[in-house]
Structure 1
Amino acid sequence: MRKYTFKNRELSWLDFNERVLQEAADITVPLIERLRFIGIFSNNLDEFYKVRYATVKRLALSKKKVKKFYKGENAKDLLNLITERAIELQNRSNLILDFILKDLEKENIFIADEQAIPKDSISYIKSFFLDKIQPKLKIVLLNEKDDFPQLSESSCFLIIKVESKNKNLNYAIVQFPDKFERFIVIKNQDVKYVIMIDDIIRYHLFEIFKIFNPSNISANMIKFSRDAELDFDDDISKSYLEKISQSVKDRLKGDPLRFVYDKEIDPNTLKFLLEKMNINSEIDSIIPGGKYHNKKDYMNFPILNNDLAYDKIQQLVIKDFYKHKTVFESIDERDFLVHTPFHKFNHILTFLSEASIDPEVKRICITIYRLSKLSSVANTLINAAKNGKEVVVQIELQARFDETNNIDYAKLMQDQGVKLIFGIPTLKVHAKVCVVEKLINNKILKYGFISTGNFNESTAKIYTDFTIFTSNQSLLDEISNVFEFFSFNYKKFKYEKLIISPYNTKKFFKSLIKNEIKNAKRGKDAFIKIKLNNITNYEMIKELYKAAEEGVKIYLIVRGICCLIPDQKNTHNNIELISIVDKFLEHTRMFIFCNNGKNKTYISSADWMTRNLDNRVEVTIPIEDEKISNQLNEIFSIYWNDNQKSRYVNSENNNEYRKNELGIIRSQSQVYNYHHNEN
């Protein structure tokens, strides 16, 4: 039996975040966009610790015998490897940030700390503090006896050490105001000063703590991450909605996993904090940092000069989509491919809006995974219910970090007459589908859409996703069966067209891979082209290794985590693997199989991860419309030829930019031009 090698999942994720950091370091990227990539890098790292580091830590603490993780290392050793890599990337991000801030100064934009506030702005800053900041500050005094207070990890904190003139020593935690812009802009003729809330607070520390008659005050920023796993109680009297709500609240009590501190902090203050917060230096990640943390806020850095940000693209309208009086008439004629953000998300909103008031529409069924905070999708569904339509919404309450948002909308929709389905508590619903039923001449006709992404108008501006609009009745009948399954889990349905996780996605793709192997052995053309976000399932990776050994050419575009290593013994360089990170987050999932020259093309909500294949409800559909199939094949080719934002993955030149002889090809720009030319 051949022995294959795999990249560790956690370390691969950190490699992906390094690619994000490369965008911050890229001098061809506009300056403010580079700052935003610093913010994205920081936010990614926060989520990594809450989810992946937390999982490894639980295994490290488990008394059960668990599998080895990486090159024979156990979970505890892997925690150390993660911390080492995280510190390396964090230090690099600090250096990159310093370079960006120096370049901003060349554009007359200065970050002013508490010691560099312009003199003619001090009066304004004092008024701003007294009127806006101080009333919303949360200050908690600390002492040796009391337990450490519960703190929200999403906030910013300063640990304050107050030395009074009578030699007394006091510690305090200052929490920044919630939902408050962190950057204050002061314009002084041609110069713009950006002052962070942190430094405005530092400037006023003697005012805040004057009651202690201070002789000296030190302030250092700290940051921590908690385990984000949701735990459920067994109280059968509680609804699923109540259990999720309580579990989200319980995250405030989650175990600490990572502690980041200002490396200039007094050693005694650091020791006091580590003891009070019960941080274990052996298994928790303790990381020295700079003066400022929560760099995710740089994602919202103000655009002070339009030349320092990406130009906004003119989002496109699909040709013929609005050709008729209603979009249903257009969809009757043919299928449509929407590729956001190049195309407008409004195509989806228009479809739902028309359905909400169309007298012939009797029923709307839709899955929801992540909603925008101000969701037009939810509002349209509520409007449909008010107009007497039967509206059925499968809403996923366990969409990580969006639980609260989804819970709020779930309660609102339920109050307005929308029928909510919560599916199976142990099986997340990640499928993105919608079916609308119209009664025309006493006959039910169906219209709908299937997508790779969430029906979220906010993320649709920055995530690339495919959505197929169709009136294919047999396909939509099967999607209706998926909704039937959500309500009646005991029912079994036969699917001729849909590929459904957790039932047959893995088996189906294995059969397609085996077909390519068979064709390769017969000397026929054989290739597999895959674009997805993550691939971690060893079983599917082994199938690709085997196919490569038999001569099947495999082209992989994997944005994020990738456990596949292309350079395997006996694969004969038949596997090529790249990743693309650019201004938009690549989120589309597509699969193209040669099939002896008669290409089979699919889009899917599922990555090739164990959770997507075995533990979630996912939908993959075949692309039967020849025009859309050709479009997807051409789009894949554009991405594959990218030589500006593509990198090699899991090879000797890991994360190096990929070059070719095709001239300048920046895939996202080229894809936009491709769609523009279609119109």
Structure 2
Amino acid sequence: MINNRDLSWLTFNERVLQEAQDKSVPLMQRLRFLGIYSNNQDEFIKVRVANIVRLSQIKGKKTPRFSGGYTGRELLPLVNAGVYSGQKKFAHTYTEVLDEMEQQGIYVINEKQLNRRQKQFCRDYFSSVVSQRLVPLILKKTTQIPFLQDNNIYHAVKMTSGKNCKNPRYAIIQIPVSSSCPRFIVLPSVKDRNDIIFLDDIIRLCLDEIFFMFNYKYISAYTFKLMRDAQLTLDDDISKSLIEKMEDGLQNRLHGQPVRLIYDKEMPDDLLDIIATKLRLKGNEGLDAGGRYHLMRDLMKFPKVRPDLESKSPEPLQHPDIKAFSSILKVISRKDILLNYPYHTFNHFIDFLREAAIDPKVESIYITLYRVAERSKVINALINAAKNGKRVVVLLELLARFDEEQNVEYSELLQKEGIKVIHGANGLKVHSKLVLVQRKDRGYAYIGTGNFNESTAQIYGDFGLFTSNSQIVADAAAVFDFLLNTHKHFSFKQLMISPYYMREQFEALIKQEIKNAQNGKKAYIHAKFNSLTDEDMISLLYKASQAGVEIRLIVRGACCLQPQIKDQSENIRVISIVDKYLEHARLAIFHNDGDENIYIMSADWMTRNLDRRVEVGTPILDKKIKETLKEFFNIQWSDNEKARDLTIFGSNEYVEKEGNTPCRSQMALYDFYKNLNK
């Protein structure tokens, strides 16, 4: 039995929504979980739902099948129903959170609830900050609708000179959200009260200042957002560079086919009709009636007016073997170092690059970049290395979804600084997290599970291994040699590399556990992924279960494996942990007759990761680090506060507590690493 990936993903996002519903979570963090849920849902619609819509239009014998055996036509209504159900739960939860915020003196008010002082503040704010950013677009029935961008919110405006006017006037205004014009504005308020207003409502208040030149008696505005197909298509023009194709492709994405129009259910029918018609949305296809506000991902940036109601994270720890104002390269030359973010500080990685950038004996730095921070210290360190005469080679993946534009900009910046930038192997997305530093005396490698991004490293749970092991360093050099010379093929002594060897190596490790179990030996597989969707790997895990291999899986997101099926997966248990940090690390532990094989890797067990991407996994050779990772897994497996049991598909029931000992694994892990420092 294989569960459907998209339906499973929807159940994952419901676990995110559960965090917003959980009253033990700090109140303002619950609001931010609503923003995370909304952002996830929007990306799902633009990517996955758009893909299902496309494939559902294919007819005949070549009709593609999705996981679980569904055709697009069978799957689409189920997915749409899941999206609709989730939106209803979101709206209910949002109302509940707002009610609780009001009990704490935090009020989200609209333009009709403002007092005189607040109205004047809003009009002054509109005049000084907002008005110059507005470009009102007049809608006419006889003309094409001006282009509406994805990822924005708009007001649809209706003006009439009387209640029964036959010739209304219509307009559209983009709500200009930016870092200098935020979605939420803190208003002047009385003591012990915090009033906040949506930017949308300030614009509603000031409609008379925008459309003063028209003769109308009634004017109203209704928010809507448009979601377009996010597929990025690159043309085959061989005369264009990849950068040029990317820039064209990004422009084409902006003009992608509309997938869904989400609008205020109070919007008048005639106004909705003119917008839907001009967007070529037929009938009710792709039309979703919603509430007064949209693009609720902005809740992640809600003002921090009450720090006491925010989630508090402890200070990241220094690794016990890395001392302040001392050489990291010297430490790595003596022993392997494992970092586990966000429990350990990401500054260790930044300091590693900075030291390499100025060390006179360092000759070259090679790195793969997928997603980096907006003002990246990693990019700065690489530029510094180039200025210090090091050879710097950067594999910058341009096809990192929704980060493509920033990566194009960084690519141009790095090249201006004299850094060699490559954009990956033809037809393969490079998703690996790999660094190679070549010093005159020896080489150093870093293999990670997460991006080189100091911002997300504060909230994503990931592993990173520093090593100077000669075989791993040689393998890392071979990976970069392949990326620079894709016509060559290499063998690797230690690293797991997809798309060439990783699948076969994992299959061999599972088959060895099966063989050991059949021979009456103890056998187990303990693994942690973001997603588990590859059907061949799932089938092999089912065979392992049937052979008696004990399998424990921690899967944050989509999981197509169904545990606890009689005669198929009775020996498999699966849990999912959703908490304040995003569980992003990938880990696999194979018992191997007592001599455990342990790996960390950038790849999930998904077909795209194993067959269509360049991914890197590394064995853990240091015995102490092996014990650390085994304890890491045991702590997470013991979670009985934030872990959900995935035995019943879609239920998202919390793991039952055994005994009276509570375990919230993310907090327990911090204490575990803190104790290692003593």
**Contact 2:149 2:255 (8 Å CA) reproduced:** no
> In the alignment, what sits opposite 1:339?
340
Partner of 1:90: 87
TM-score normalised per structure 1: 0.97
Look up the SS of the partner of 1:214 in the other structure. Answer: coil
1:132 match: secondary structure: helix
Mapping for residues 235-250 of structure 1, pairs under 5 Å:
235-250=237-252
Q: What does the per-residue CA deviation read over 1:407-426, in whole Å, with 9 as the maximum and x for residues that have no partner?
A: 11110000000101112241
- Partner residue, 2:438: 437
Aligned to 1:559: 556
Corresponding residue number in structure 2 for 1:184: 185
Q: Is the 8 A contact 2:152 2:226 kept in 1?
A: no
1:355 aligns with 2:356: yes
Which moves more between the two structures, 230-239 or 9-18?
Answer: 230-239
Post-superposition CA distance 1:175-215 (Å, at most 9, x none): 01141211111232221100110111111112222211221
3-state DSSP of counterpart to 1:195: strand
Letter in structure 1 aligned against 2:245: K
Cα displacement string for residues 340-360 of structure 1 (whole angstroms, at most 9, x for unaligned residues):
111111001000001111111
1:668 pairs, out of 666, 669, 675, with 666
CA deviation map 1:126-176 (0-9, x unaligned): 110111111101211111122222222221111111113575311111101
The C-alpha deviation readout for 1:205-262, integer Å capped at 9, x for no partner, is 1222221122112211111211111111222221111111111121111001122111
- In structure 2, what is the equivalent of residue 194 of structure 1? 196
2:18 aligned partner, one-letter code: Q
Q: Equivalents in 1 of 2:73, 2:145: separation in Å? A: 27
Is residue 47 from structure 1 mapped to residue 43 from structure 2 by the alignment?
yes
CA distance in structure 2 between the aligned counterparts of 1:356 and 1:678, rounded to whole angstroms: 30
- The 5 Å alignment of 1:547-626 reads 547-571=544-568, 573-626=570-623
Quote the residue 1:537 is aligned against. Answer: 534
Matched, 1:297 2:298: yes
* Structure 2: distance between partners of 1:651 and 1:527: 23
**Is 1:656 matched up with 2:658?**
no
Cα distance in structure 2, aligned partners of 1:471 and 1:326:
14
CA drift at 1:312: 2.7
* Aligned AA (2:2): F
Question: What is the CA distance between 1:388 and its match in structure 2?
Answer: 0.6
Structure 1 stretch displaced more, 115-124 or 581-590: 115-124
State the alpha-carbon separation in 1 of the partners of residues 227 and 136 from structure 2: 20
1:8 aligns with: 4
Cα gap change, 1:280 to 1:579, in 2 (>3 Å): farther
Give the 3-state SS of the residue equivalent to 2:648 in structure 1.
coil
2:366 counterpart letter in structure 1? C
- Distance in 1 separating the partners of 2:318 and 2:496: 30
Between the aligned partners of 2:377 and 2:40, the Cα distance in structure 1 is 27
What is the deviation of 1:50? 1.4
CA-CA distance at 1:72 after TM superposition: 5.5
Residue identity in the other structure for 1:139: P
Aligned to 2:523: 526
Between 1:371-380 and 1:113-122, the stretch displaced more is 113-122
Query: Which ranges of structure 1 fall in alignment gaps of 5 or more residues?
Result: none
Aligned to 2:53: 57
SS in structure 2 at match of 1:212: coil
In the alignment, the residues of structure 2 paired with residue 17 and residue 496 of structure 1 have an alpha-carbon distance, to the nearest angstrom, of 39
Q: Distance in 2 between matches of 1:455 and 1:70?
A: 32
Deviation digits for residues 353-399 of structure 1 (CA, Å, limit 9, x no counterpart): 01111111110000000011100100110111011100000010000
Do the aligned partners of 1:7 and 1:650 also contact (CA within 8 Å) in 2?
no
**Could you give the per-residue CA deviations for residues 515-557 of structure 1, whole angstroms, max 9, x where no partner exists?**
1111111111111001010011000000001110111111010
In the superposition, relative to structure 1, how do residues 563 and 652 fare at CA in structure 2: closer, same or farther (>3 Å)? Answer: closer
Report the aligned-residue RMSD: 1.5
Question: What is residue 172 of structure 1 aligned with on the other side?
Answer: 171
How does 1:463-542 map onto structure 2 within 5 Å?
463-542=460-539
CA contact (8 A) 2:148 2:226 kept: no
Which 10-residue stretch deviates more, 427-436 or 244-253? 244-253
Aligned amino acid, residue 149 of structure 2: S
Please tell me the residue identity of whatever aligns with 1:274.
Answer: A
- The alpha carbon displacement at 1:652 in A equals 5.7
Secondary structure of the 1:260 match is strand
Partners in 2 of 1:132 and 1:96 — Cα distance? 32
1:182 and 1:324 map into 2 onto residues whose CA distance is 42
Identity of aligned residues (%): 44
Of the structure 1 ranges 107-116 and 69-78, higher mean CA displacement relative to structure 2 is found in 69-78
Rounded to whole Å, the distance in 2 between the matches of 1:630 and 1:281 is 60
8 Å contact kept, 2:156–2:222: yes
Contact (CA 8 Å) 2:232, 2:253: kept in 1 or not? yes
Which deviates more from structure 2 when the two are superposed, residues 13-22 or residues 255-264?
Answer: 255-264
Question: 1:330 corresponds to which residue?
Answer: 331
Instruction: Give the corresponding residue for 1:131.
Output: 128
CA contact 2:370–2:400 (8 Å) conserved in 1: yes
Q: Secondary structure at the match of 2:609?
A: helix
Q: Per-residue deviation at 1:71?
A: 6.2
Q: Which residue of 2 aligns with 1:251?
A: 253
SS of 1:322's partner is coil
Matched, 1:18 2:18: no
| Contact persistence 1:70–1:78 (CA under 8 A) | no
Q: State the alpha-carbon separation in 1 of the partners of residues 232 and 650 from structure 2.
A: 38
Q: Distance in 1 between matches of 2:345 and 2:415?
A: 29
Could you tell me the TM-score, scaled by structure 2's length? 0.97
From the superposition, tell whether residues 289 and 625 of structure 1 become closer, same or farther in structure 2 (CA, over 3 Å): same
Shift of 1:41: 0.4
Give the superposition deviation at 1:278.
Answer: 1.0
> Is the CA contact (8 Å cut-off) linking 1:321 and 1:331 kept in structure 2?
no
| More displaced 10-residue stretch of structure 1: 594-603 or 272-281 | 272-281
CA distance in 1, matches of 2:294, 2:438: 51
Deviates more, 1:29-38 or 1:214-223: 214-223
**Contact residue 446 and residue 464 of structure 2 kept, 8 A:** yes
Counterparts of 1:385-464 in structure 2, within 5 Å, are 385-440=386-441, 445-464=442-461
1:120 and 1:364 mapped to 2: Cα distance? 58
Instruction: Provide the rounded CA distance (Å) in 2 between the counterparts of 1:572 and 1:265.
Output: 51
Aligned equivalents of 2:98 and 2:383: distance in 1? 46
Aligned residue in 1 for 2:140: 143
Aligned partner of 2:31 in structure 1 is 35
* 1:561-608 Cα shifts (integer Å, max 9, x gaps): 111111323036211011000000000000001111111100000001
In structure 2, distance between residues paired with 1:209 and 1:78:
45
Distance in 2 of aligned mates of 1:84 and 1:636: 35
User: Contact (CA 8 Å) 2:395, 2:423: kept in 1 or not?
Assistant: yes
**Kept in 1: contact 2:546–2:570 (CA 8 A):** no
Structure 2 Cα separation of the partners of residues 137 and 188 of structure 1: 31
Q: Is the 8 A contact 1:339 1:467 kept in 2?
A: yes
Number of equivalences:
670
The 3 A distance-change label for structure 1 pair 653 and 294 is: closer
| Equivalent-residue separation in structure 1 for 2:649 and 2:444 (angstroms) | 49
**Would the alpha carbon gap of residues 572 and 148 (structure 1) be closer, same or farther in structure 2, given more than 3 Å must change?**
closer
Extract unaligned runs of 5+ from structure 2.
none
Say yes or no: does 1:276 pair with 2:273. no
More displaced 10-residue stretch of structure 1: 218-227 or 651-660: 651-660
Equivalent-residue separation in structure 2 for 1:635 and 1:598 (angstroms): 18
- Contact kept, 8 Å, 2:562 with 2:569, in 1: the verdict is no
Superposed displacement of residue 323, structure 1:
6.8
- In 2, Cα distance between the equivalents of 1:112 and 1:353? 48
Q: In 1, Cα distance between the equivalents of 2:46 and 2:79?
A: 13
